[in-house]
Structure 1
Amino acid sequence: MTTSGRSRDAGSSPRPIKRGAKVAEALAQEIVHEIVSRKLPPGTLLSSEAQMLEDYGVGRGSLREALRILEVHGLITMKPGRNGGPMVIEVGSRDYGRMSSLFFHIGGVTFRQLVEARLALEPMMARLAAERRGQELVGALADPETTHVEDDNEYFDATTDFHKTVAAMSGNPVLNLMSSSLEEIFRDQVSGLLSPKDERKHVLEVHTDIAEAIARGDAEAAEKHMREHMQEYADWVYSGHPQLIDAIIDWK
């Protein structure tokens, strides 16, 4: 059932919006503060336009610009219809990655630098996961013997799920978001360049080695296996697709 955010709780009046040239940005920040402080889940409809104008004491133009800012950042969507309006939506690593790729593109960040960042970050995530002695990854792994590695979609899902699960198991939501978003950007840049089909079973076997190291709490082995695993794929991309190495990250 959709939760309505149209009725404001007693004593939860919005903070006053600072006047100035960036009223819309300040208002967008205040709306986000309200979403977070009230713990409004995805699917929650925010107050109507008329109610927001009254609550925040701003002009219609500033309000609509603020809502547009939040929509562009993937925080809300405008639900159409008579009972529609601004609605909270789920924010994920892809949204963060899309925003990051814009800054990377403007800053001239190359594919090589993106790979270097992942080579530094992902082994550390595997180490942190092992220090927590997480067991959940082992049972969630794709079986190298039964996974149809020739099927690009099945193989892609299996490898993506593995890296996202390791990141989540690190126990650090900041590193999790950064690592997952870098993976999203990486996969967008390589445009579906998956490992060669004759190497895919090996990749899944390496995933198993990493998972087992994490499960037994062997941080050194987990970090080592992940670093070697990431380097293998990077070397393959570099050798087979050298045009990517110095390419500027696209904003996607």
Structure 2
Amino acid sequence: MLELRSLRAGYGRINVLWDISLAFPKGELTAIIGPNGAGKTTLFRALMGLIPHQGEILLDGKPLKGRTWDLIEAGLVMVPEGRMVFKDMSVEENLALGAYPRRCRADRARNLGRVYDLFPRLKERRAQLAGSLSGGEAQMLAMGRGLMSEPAILLIDEPSLGLAPVIVKEVFGIIRRLKSEGVTIGLIEQNTHIALSVADHIHLMRSGKLLLSRPADTIDLDHLHDLYLAREAAPPAS
């Protein structure tokens, strides 16, 4: 399990996150939702060691420290927002980069087969330059590259952003399959309907603070939207 205790983080002198405490239980999907500027991506960047932070980050009860590369070796892997791929490299070369951590190099062929099973379109385009892919295909490639690193915990930032509804449905079908296979997932998503449909736990952020933390099946969508849009004062996070 990944656990955060009183996490603070920001950029230079600007603090963005204020005492965030939450957990990503093993084998479950935990969704972080909130409006633009809430601090969701900053949260994931702090988890990955990309920005300085204060507070504790624990993996299976042990402090998680080190450089970003050390965290990836420990099994914490992030699929960033914006479908970041290496455009001048082929699909398969992009995937191969995901298998670079020492602990998963020996299983590269097996993991590649698994990714191609999850994303058949990537197999069809394995020799194609990543820069020529559609937005949906690039999102699949970014997710596939993350899976090549054999994540213990997979952090996915805004997978539906800018995609057509039919592609969003396909991408979330894959996320549901990963969840059913026992992959621990942290998901940032602005689409509250999708987040509630796939998540075990929901955390609502606004202005760098945690406003609501509950099991997804106990949340009233109208109430969630009121908090999301600041139409209602937030109760203490529970």
Q: Same fold (TM over 0.5)?
A: no
Higher helix share: 1
**If you compute each CA radius of gyration, which structure gives the higher value, 1 or 2?**
1
Higher strand share: 2
Higher RCO by CA contacts (8 Å cutoff, separation 6 or greater): 2
Relative to the length of structure 2, the TM-score reads 0.25
